[in-house]
Structure 1
Amino acid sequence: MQPADPSGVTETAVFVHSLGLCESPNVGKGSRIWAFAHVLAGARLGEDCNVCDHVFIENDVVVGDRVTVKCGVQLWDGLRVGNDVFIGPNATFTNDRFPRSKQYPEQFAQTIVGHGASIGANATILPGVSIGQHAMVGAGAVVTRSVPPYAIVVGNPARIVGYAGDRPEPAGSQEAIAPPTKPGSIRTAIGNVTLHRMNHYKDVRGSLSVGEFQRDIPFEAKRYFLVYDVPSAETRGEHAHRECHQFLICVSGSCAVVADDGRSRQEFLLDAPSIGIHLPPMTWGIQYKYSSDAVLLVLASHLYSAADYVRDYTEFLTLIRASDAR
């Protein structure tokens, strides 16, 4: 396990630098452990991992395949790291919210880093949180709460500033919603999601926006709810519906909507009360970037049913794949 130099290592071998220490027999083929790194006996590492200088990996740690752990990182008991994860230099994981010297919890909090996630240099991850798949944690961020899949978070405490792979579409502007110069709808690149321009009238008496159910709004609503007084750092939604259609209008202020059909995702800005977006069933929806005066009106085709919600993104993807296979 300790060839003289990595240039002679075969693709199936595990390379451990002569100044590194790997006590674990559970390291996948093609992985490399560099100088002054220490992997304890209970740790499990997948294939083709790169563990850089001065990394410490404790016993109750599971690391997936093709993971990069840059210099100066410690992976403590309770950490679960998915495949294709990047962990930047000096990123800090914690596993005890109330540490005391010589006092140990019965079980350390489990922290999960999803497949394809990236954690920037000097970020701090508090214990017990989950970082969703393909999320990106900015350099120096302090993650105090779980991070949704694909979310980009920065700051202390970390807050969502975007979603990886999204292309914002300012839905309230003429150029982004062209046509229509008259009321109507357009298909987006996300499944059956559509953007709508409602009837809008303005004169000296004020402005009026109106839509008719099953004509302008593509279903008959059985319920509505309003979302308002949302702190700008907060995120709403983060779920899909099995059967329920939703139609969103920001009747005051503005907010961003991310629509995801399980294959791609796109961000839209609702910044006028004459603009709406239709989220059909099995569309993962997220709302964030609320302005201080934002009031979001949501029309729903079904009465409330907890069973209609899909709140786990991995389950959502599983359901989408099963549907595609039929």
Structure 2
Amino acid sequence: MQPADLPAAAAAFVHPNGLCESPNVGNGSRIWAFAHVLPGARIGTDCNICDHVFVENDVVVGDRVTIKCGVQLWDGLRVEDDVFIGPNATFTNDRFPRSKQYPDSFPQTHIGRGASIGANATILPGVSIGQHAMVGAGAVVTRSVPPYAIVVGNPARIVGYAGERSDLGSPKAGLAPPPQPGTVATPIGSVTLHRLNYYKDVRGSLSVGEFQRDIPFEAKRYFLVYDVPSAETRGEHAHRECHQFLICISGSCAVVADDGRNRQEFRLDSPDVGIHLPPMTWGIQYKYSSDAVLLVFASHHYSAADYVRDYAEFLALTGCSKPE
């Protein structure tokens, strides 16, 4: 079939009781009864705008987005492709609203590709919901949500991470460290889980490891993370050259390691258990117990240029970006 013979894409559909004032609505999109789209809004292709949805002027919606009933999209909202917005989800765009008082500009709220917003969730102004994140029903999102994070509650807190991309293996149950001193490979790139030497007698306990033997690099820096509220998330970055070795020397925390194709959560809850995160591994630490103290050895001195803090950039550098 020649290109000229191919059937044209279906035009946008507007229900007789819907009102669409925008000329920028993509083919195949459907706008249902009592929905109202203002003239400046931009709607992508194959979207589903359900009953009683209101879309203001400075709103951009990507392709294949589903917006369920009773949702209002206010100025400053940017929604990427394949997003699901559940019924009665609430977006806001003014941090200090007053009647008849209007800000000079509205903060931009960004919903990443493939994210899902649960029914009745509330999203505060200026936050970013990372790609493929999942916001639970009724959650109140007061700060940005990392890619793939699952958040629930008021205020929303991270309770897990999802693997939603077809080329990204779903999270597996935490891999156990070896029962005796040694190393175990993981499905995440070159990430390894370690059991360090451990000795206990009537005088107390001792855990020990040697650099370039038990810990597979020479450390040039260390830092301690402690007094972390359990709802907080640390890390959320990768390193271009720096290796890291993490040991929770008191309490417990969870470490998520991601090589761009696979992601897995590991629990650190003993001073003789460590995890090696090689360069170009996206690392996240969360679920800190109240008494957690996380010790991190690093192979390099601190350099801001060594950090990769944007997940999309990380995927591009690892060759794992989803094709457009």
Band of TM-score, shorter chain:
over 0.9
Alignment map for 1:90-129 (pairs within 5 Å): 90-129=88-127
Whether the 8 Å contact between 1:169 and 1:269 is mirrored in structure 2 is no
Match of 1:155 in 2: 153
TM-score (norm 2): 0.93
Aligned to 1:290: 288
DSSP 3-state at the match of 1:109? coil
Which letter does structure 1 place at the counterpart of 2:171?
A: R
CA distance in 2, matches of 1:110, 1:134: 19
Question: Match for 1:267 among 258, 265, 268?
Answer: 265
Q: How far 1:248 moved relative to its partner?
A: 0.2
Query: Shift in Å at residue 181 of structure 1?
Result: 3.5
Q: 1:197 & 1:322 partners in 2: Cα distance? A: 31
Q: Distance in 1 between matches of 2:42 and 2:319?
A: 29
Of 28, 31, 34 in structure 1, the residue corresponding to residue 32 of structure 2 is 34
Which of 57, 60, 65 is the equivalent residue of 1:59? 57
The letter for the 1-side match of 2:30 is R
Instruction: Note the alpha carbon deviations across 1:168-217, whole angstroms, 9 max, x for none.
Output: 6445xxxx33xx34211111111110000111111222211111110110
Q: Which runs of 5+ in 2 are unaligned?
A: 1-7, 164-169
Q: Residues of 2 paired with 1:24 and 1:265: CA distance?
A: 41
The equivalences for 1:190-269 within 5 A come to 190-269=188-267
Which among 273, 276, 280 is matched to residue 274 of structure 2? 276
Instruction: Give the whole-Å Cα distance in 2 for the aligned partners of 1:181 and 1:93.
Output: 49
The 3 A distance-change label for structure 1 pair 290 and 78 is: same
Match of 1:167 among 166, 171, 178: 171
- CA distance in 2: counterparts of 1:39 and 1:182, whole angstroms: 63
Cα RMSD after superposing both structures: 1.4
Please show how residues 8-87 of structure 1 align to structure 2 within 5 Å: 11-87=9-85
TM-score w.r.t. length of structure 1: 0.92
Per mean C-alpha deviation after superposition, the further-off stretch among 109-118 and 158-167 is 158-167
Distance in structure 2 (CA, Å) of the matches to 1:43 and 1:170: 45
- d(CA) in 1 for partners of 2:62, 2:270: 45
2:166: which partner in 1? Answer: none
CA distance in 2, matches of 1:121, 1:192: 39
For residues 49 and 101 of structure 2, the distance between their equivalents in structure 1, rounded to whole angstroms, comes to 30
Question: Does the 8 Å CA contact 1:119/1:138 hold for their aligned counterparts?
Answer: yes
Equivalent residue pairs, number: 308
The question of whether the paired residues in 1 share the 8 Å contact of 2:9 and 2:28 is answered with yes
Distance 1:73 1:237 in 2: 33
Equivalent residues of 2:261, 2:320 under 8 A apart: no
Distance 2:148 2:241 in 1: 24
SS in 2 for 1:316: helix
**Cα separation, 2, equivalents of 1:244 and 1:310:** 11
Q: Secondary structure at the match of 1:321?
A: coil
Matched, 1:316 2:314: yes
Report Cα offsets for 1:134-189 as digits up to 9, x if no partner. Answer: 00111011111011111111111111111113636445xxxx33xx3421111111
> How many percent identity over aligned positions?
84
Cα distance between partner residues in 1 of 2:257 and 2:20:
44
Structure 2 CA distance for aligned equivalents of residues 104 and 263 of structure 1: 45
In the alignment, the residues of structure 1 paired with residue 36 and residue 252 of structure 2 have an alpha-carbon distance, to the nearest angstrom, of 50
Seen in structure 2, the aligned counterparts of structure 1 residues 289 and 181 have a Cα distance that, compared at 3 Å, is: closer
Letter in structure 2 aligned against 1:65: D
TM superposition outliers: structure 1 runs of 4+ over 2 Å:
165-171
**Offset at 1:101?**
1.2
